[in-house]
Amino acid sequence: MTFENENPFALRSTLEYEMPDFSRINDESYLPAFYAGCQEQLHEVHEIIKQDEVTFENTIVAMERSGQLLMRVLVVFYNKSSSDTTDRLDEIEEEIAPKLSAHTDAIRLNQALFGRIKELYGKRDSLELNTEDAWLLERYYMDFTHAGAHLTDAQREELTNLNEELSKLETQFGKNLLTDTNDLGVLVDDVNELDGLSENEIAACAAAAKARGLEGKWLVGMVNFTGHPLHASMKNRSLRERVMKNSLIKGARNNENDNRPVILQIVKLRAKRAELFGVKTHAEHVLQDRNAQNPENVHKMLKQIAPAAVRNARAEGADLQKAIDASGENFTLESWDWDFYTEAVRMEKYNLDTTAMRPYFELERVLNDGVFFAANKLFGISFKERKDIVTYHPDARAFEVFNEDGSKLALFIGDFYTRDSKRGGAWMNNLVDQSHLLGQLPVVVNNLNVPKPPAGQPTLLTYDEITTLFHEFGHTLHGILSDVKYPRFSGTSVERDFVEFPSQVNEMWLTWPEVLDNYAIHYETGEKIPQEWVDNLKAASTFNEGHATTSYMAAAILDLAWHSLEADSTVEDVEEFEAKAIEAYGLNYGPVPTRYRSTYFSHIFAGGYSAGYYGYIWSEVLDADTVDWFKENGGLTRANGDHFRKTLLARGGSINSMQMFRNFRGRDATIEPLLKRRGLL
């Protein structure tokens, strides 16, 4: 049989929405398709180069049409390897990572191709391009120069070697972290140790242990960030301490999964690569192509926030210590006590117990009557579950999305439950990018890590998990409402320090009265969440923001510190470097550790956020200002949704992000709404 007949990636899928044919895809489908895809795209590039005439259509548009086979396999592979990996997939990822890096460099560093792009860019004002075409040419020129196409032959060869080595190290970081995270789950022999947890939480721990062949025990699995959601209700202080300490050492043990030497190699090679581009640090190079432009602008913004954040955190810590003392206990507040006593103080100050809210936050209601409901009210779109569509895992559910007129808009895949084969955290990605050029509608995936209850039991979410669900669906809206010609601009293809903005805006509907009233209903009694609780929730909106902001800021500073190192810098001790970086910013407060320590900071060492983790709060400046706009203009209305959709969400990355924001808001953003929201004024 030929490759076209036997491999499920060989041709465009004939299924609805060009959904990948998961009934045919297996672990052995990827490598042949990957190599065939690389070969095909290089041939397509060769065909572009050999043409004598240089036009926008035969160069830039032709590049947009190239690489479709490779893209088909990559989007499926990386979604599968992050959400449901196997030993074989890990092996494949280790093989393809450096080869994909080399393939990308073979295109981005191709002098003949860059020469054509440079020629078009030089005469761009005379080409009579429309707005999206002109921006596409601009981005291609920036992509190639940022990748190093303008460097000398010797520099490009060195760059290619650095990129290949970095791709191997980044893959190793992620593999080490997943293994160590699973290994560090805390095993509990006596159910009495889980005092304070709900029946469903205890059942989820039992199910997690059973899945590893440890029936009769309970497993508290690690999460990707510092700490654990169960700390808020876990009465056993010794167990809280064990969980926290295991959380803090992910990827930092003297074993084969130790990420410390991997980190030191990554930062040195990134700094060395930056030198090739004529700058001193990786952060300088990365930020040239971001809205922030340079590290100085990032520090200027962060320094407006850090002092007030840690001041508020210390004040919150003092309140927690009082609560500890008042309870008759005799110990000093530690990081593993914070969440538990926060609930006590929250109850005392605001008569608010967020753990008691969980029966009102059942997953199906939150999803259908909260997340989908808000999207329908705002954009007129509707959702229908398609149980007949085969996805990549039994827990991954497909929903068809329709415009108000009934026309097909997109396919949404929701994969909500945690499993050992899934990396930590929550994220959105695409299986198919929207593009008028290729005639494609989007297929968008959301992954969460909610503990799965035993069969027949409801999935009751924490307040944080609901926030995450609304947040990730904000990314989904950015993807499914995309209305652009070129795949380069589809959905979330925007600057890294802008991409979190629409997702953070979507969090506002979580507590919007019309939305909350529709989904926050007790799963057994059918009663709506008490209005007193809702009022108290709003009154406590800035409660614990000192902790949240300080924890986040410490991680953002760590990212900048690592990527502000120069190539000749020497770091011998990762933990010492961390401590000094956080202390230098005044964020060192023991009970509030950084949200991510370096050894499990996959955002920056195995993801796309290196020198960019600041982007969450940079985006939140835009988000907070936008929330004010919605409130000033009537909130959850179709008129507001249509304006947001037309000026921003539908545009993807087809124009400059900050100009897109100005088109929506009518002006630049101000930082005051953010400071007010976080209680930092």
The catalytic site residues sit at: 472
| Measured distance CA(548)–CA(119) in Å, rounded | 49
224 contact partners, CB below 8 Å, separation of at least 6? 181, 423, 424, 425, 449, 596, 600, 602
Nearest to 301 by CA among 677, 671, 669: 671
Is residue 543 left, alpha or beta, with left meaning phi > 0 and alpha meaning psi from -120 to 50? beta
| Measured distance CA(61)–CA(136) in Å, rounded | 9
**Amino acid letter, residue 522:** H
Tokens of 596: 């991510």
358 contact partners, CB below 8 Å, separation of at least 6? 198, 460, 461, 462
Q: Are 201 and 451 in contact (CB under 8 A)?
A: yes
Tokens of 413: 């895949």
Which residue is associated with the tokens 């400059």? 656
Residues found in the chain = 681
| Measured distance CA(191)–CA(386) in Å, rounded | 39
| Measured distance CA(667)–CA(64) in Å, rounded | 33
* Three-class HEC string of 561-575: HHCCCCCCCCCCCHH
| Measured distance CA(666)–CA(660) in Å, rounded | 10
**Dihedral pair phi/psi, residue 521, rounded to 5°:** -130, 130
615 membership: H or E segment, kind and range: helix 615-632
| Measured distance CA(77)–CA(34) in Å, rounded | 10
Nearest to 374 by CA among 513, 279, 246, 527: 513
CA 356 to chain centre: 28
Instruction: Count CA within 13 A, CB hemisphere, residue 23.
Output: 6
Three-class SS state of 417: strand
Give burial (CB, 10 Å; 0-12/13-18/19+) of 576. Answer: exposed
Q: Please state, in angstroms and as integers, the Cα–Cα distance from residue 165 to each residue in 70, 106, 160, 267, 388, following that order.
A: 21, 15, 9, 12, 43
Which residue is associated with the tokens 């410490």? 554
Is residue 215 left, alpha or beta, with left meaning phi > 0 and alpha meaning psi from -120 to 50? beta
Nearest to 479 by CA among 416, 427, 437: 427
Tokens of 12: 């465009």
Cite the beta strand spans of 296-348 per DSSP E: none
Q: Are 544 and 316 in contact (CB under 8 A)?
A: yes
Give burial (CB, 10 Å; 0-12/13-18/19+) of 460. Answer: buried
| Measured distance CA(230)–CA(200) in Å, rounded | 12
Q: Are 433 and 425 in contact (CB under 8 A)?
A: no
Q: Are 85 and 178 in contact (CB under 8 A)?
A: yes
b/e burial code for range 263-278 (CB count within 10 A of at least 16 → b):
bbbbbbbbbbbbbbbe
